[in-house]
């Protein structure tokens, strides 16, 4: 092998190695640029979500935050976007609450035509809006107290 060929071979390997690193970096970039409107996606693989949102053009519901007013997580704010939110004791829930009177998967909030609909997911102690236990999908108004176990939540704009 001539010295020139070996030099070209050497530089070629370095170029190929760095090409790989740059491709990996560009794949990483998709995770770093979080789409602005993803709600609970801070730190989640949000790029995927953004793509699917733009495909379906969902309208944003009126309320933008879910606030915990009473209970062990009092003061917690969960920014809302266009995806449903599950509430319960299980760590799989979007909002995982420490409340002995809540079920694993207790209730679900989903946006619909600019409003948030709350549904009970078959919980033991029920989901209550103020003093009434809900029996089916119910519109949750902004500011209305949503009771789950000993936790009280409300929507805010």
Partner 1 sequence: MTTQAALPAKAEVRASRRVPGARRNTELILLILAWLVGAYAYANVGLGTEGRLPENLALVIGLVGVLFIGAHVCVRIWAPIADPLLLPVAALLNFLGLSMIHRIDVAEKLRALRNEGPLPSGDMPAQLIWTTLALVLFAGVLVTVRDHRRLQRYTYTAMVAGVVLLLLPMLPVIGSTVNGATLWVQLGPLSFQPSELAKILLTIFFAGYLVVKRDSLALVRRKFLGLGIPRARDLGPILVAWLIALGILAVQKDLGTALMFFGLFVSMLYLATQRKTWLIIGSVMFLFAAVLGYLAFGHVRLRVQVWLDTWSYANDQGYQIAQSLFGLANGGIMGTGLGQGYPQFVPFAKTDFIAAALGEELGLVGFMAILLLYGVIIERALRTAIICRDPFGKLLAAGLGTVLALQVFVVIGGVTRLIPLTGLTTPWLSYGGSALVANWIMLALLLRISDRARRTNLEQSPQVVIKP
The binding site for partner 1 (CB under 8 A) comprises: 1, 5-7, 9-14, 16-21, 23-24, 27-28, 31, 40-41, 43-45, 47-49, 51-53, 55-56, 83-86, 91-92, 94, 96, 110
Report phi then psi at 42, rounded to 5. Answer: -55, 110
Give 31's strand partners.
none
Select 28 or 100, whichever has its Cβ closest to partner 1.
Answer: 28
Select 28 or 130, whichever has its Cβ closest to partner 1.
Answer: 28
Specify the length of the chain in residues: 157
Contact, 150 vs 69, CB < 8 A? no
44/50 Cα distance (integer angstroms): 11
Strand order in the sheet with 151-156: 77-79, 65-70, 151-156, 146-148, 127-129, 132-133
Select 34 or 134, whichever has its Cβ closest to partner 1.
Answer: 34
CB of 131 to partner 1, least distance (A): 30
CB of 39 to partner 1, least distance (A): 10
CB of 143 to partner 1, least distance (A): 25
Contact, 54 vs 79, CB < 8 A? no
Q: Which two tokens stand for residue 123?
A: 């919980």
121/137 Cα distance (integer angstroms): 10
CB of 113 to partner 1, least distance (A): 15
Reduce the DSSP state of residue 8 to 3 states and report it: helix
CB of 114 to partner 1, least distance (A): 16
Select 33 or 143, whichever has its Cβ closest to partner 1.
Answer: 33
Select 24 or 74, whichever has its Cβ closest to partner 1.
Answer: 24
């Amino acid at each position: 092998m001539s010295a020139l060929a070996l030099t070209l071979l050497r530089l070629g390997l370095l170029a190929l190695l760095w090409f790989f690193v740059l491709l990996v970096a560009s794949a990483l970039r998709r995770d770093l640029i979080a789409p602005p409107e993803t709600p609970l996606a801070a730190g989640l693989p949000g790029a995927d979500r953004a793509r699917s949102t733009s495909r379906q053009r969902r309208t944003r519901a009126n309320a933008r935050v879910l606030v915990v007013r009473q209970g062990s997580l009092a003061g917690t704010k969960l920014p809302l976007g266009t995806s449903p939110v599950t509430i319960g004791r299980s760590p799989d829930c979007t909002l995982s609450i420490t409340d002995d009177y809540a079920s694993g998967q207790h209730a679900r909030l989903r946006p619909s035509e600019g409003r948030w609909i709350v549904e009970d997911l078959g919980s033991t102690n029920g989901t209550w809006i103020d003093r009434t236990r809900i029996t089916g999908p119910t519109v949750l108004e902004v500011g209305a107290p949503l009771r789950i176990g000993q936790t009280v939540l409300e929507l805010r704009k």
